[in-house]
Amino acid sequence: MTVYSFVAQLLAVLIAVAGAPLLTGWINQCRAWLQNKSAPPLLLPYRTLHKLFWKESVVADGASPLFRAAPYIVFGAMVLACGIVPSLSTDLPLAAAADAIALVGLFALARVFISLAAMDIGTAFGTLGARREMLVGFLAEPALLMVLFTAAFITQSTSLANIVETISGQEFAIYPSLAFAGVAFAMVSLAENARVPVDNPATHLELTMIHEAMILEYSGRHLALIEWAASLKLFAYSSIGLAIFFPWGIAHVHEPVGMLLALPVLVAKLAIGGAALALIETLSAKMRIFRVPEFLAGAFLLAVIGILVHFLLGA
C-alpha cells in the first residue's frame, strides 16, 4: 500500500473518531428544533465525554475483568468499523482485512461483549437489557447482512470498497433491489442505534429501555467510551448507508484530489442524513418491546425481497 492510501486510511479513521460525537450532537439539535425545544449546543457531546472521563468510575463489587474490558473492546471494534467503511475514499488498505460480512461480525462482537458485560453484575436490569439487545440483534444482524448481500450480488463483491467503487463507478442506474434494501437498512439502523421507534436514548424508563438498561452500571471513563462507541456506531451506519445508496462523491483509488472534494460532500450528506433521522424520530412513537421483532422481521423480509428481486430481474 502506498503512502497515499495509508494517509487516506488514517484520515478516514481520525475523521470518524473525531466527528462521530459531532454527528450525535447535530441530530440532537435537529430533534430539539423539530420538537421546538431550545436546542442543546452542538458540541455538547464532547463536553459530556470530557466530563465523564474526568469522573472516577465506580465499579460494582462483583464485577469481573470482563466488565471493565468490555468498553475498550466495543470502542476498538467501532473504530475498526469506521476504518473499513469507505466514507471519504475507497482506497482503504484495511478494507482487505474485513469485508461486509466481517463488518457485520464486528458489530456482533461489540454487541455480544456489551451484553455479557451487562449480565456480569447480575442486576435484573442488566440481564433484561442484554436480553432485549440480543433480541434486537438476532433480527437486525441478518437484515443488515442481507442488505449488504444485495449490494454484493449487484457488484459481485463483498469488499465494501469494491462495492462502492462499482456502484459509483458505473453510470447512474436505478436498482429496484436497492430500493428495498434501502428501506430495510433504514429500519435496521434505527434499531441498531437505539433510536425511536425501537429504543429511546433519552429515556431511563425501565419498561422500555434497551441500550440504557445495559449500561446502567457504567460510569466515568467506561461510560464515556461506551457513549463514544455508540456515536461511532451511528457514524459507521450512516457512512455505510451513504456509501451503498449515495456513493457519489467518494474518492476513488488513484485520485488524490478527490479526497479534498470528498470531505465537504461527506459532511453535507451526514448533515442531511442526521436531519432525516431526527425527523423520523420526531414523527414516530416508541413501540412496545414486543412490536420490535415484528418491526425488524419486516426489515429482514424487505431485505430478502430485495435479493429475490435482484435474482429475478437481474438488476
Spatial separation of the C-alpha atoms in residues 155 and 164, rounded to whole Å: 9
At closest approach, how far in Å is the CB of 76 from other proteins? 4
**Of the two residues 97 and 260, which places its CB atom closer to other proteins in the complex?**
97
Q: What is the 3-state secondary structure (H, E, C) of 69-107?
A: HHHHHHHHHHHHHHHHCCCCECCCHHHHHCCHHHHHHHH
In degrees and rounded to multiples of 5, residue 89 shows phi and psi of -140, 150
Residue 251 is given by DSSP the state B
Rounded to 10 deg, the angle between the 220-245 and 65-84 helix axes is: 30
**Of the two residues 152 and 251, which places its CB atom closer to other proteins in the complex?**
152
**Of the two residues 77 and 250, which places its CB atom closer to other proteins in the complex?**
77
**Of the two residues 119 and 263, which places its CB atom closer to other proteins in the complex?**
119
At closest approach, how far in Å is the CB of 304 from other proteins? 5
At closest approach, how far in Å is the CB of 10 from other proteins? 13
At closest approach, how far in Å is the CB of 299 from other proteins? 12
At closest approach, how far in Å is the CB of 313 from other proteins? 11
Rounded to 10 deg, the angle between the 256-283 and 220-245 helix axes is: 110
| 251: β partners | 89
**Of the two residues 27 and 128, which places its CB atom closer to other proteins in the complex?**
128
- Burial zone of 82 (CB within 10 Å; 0-12 exposed, 13-18 middle, 19+ buried): buried
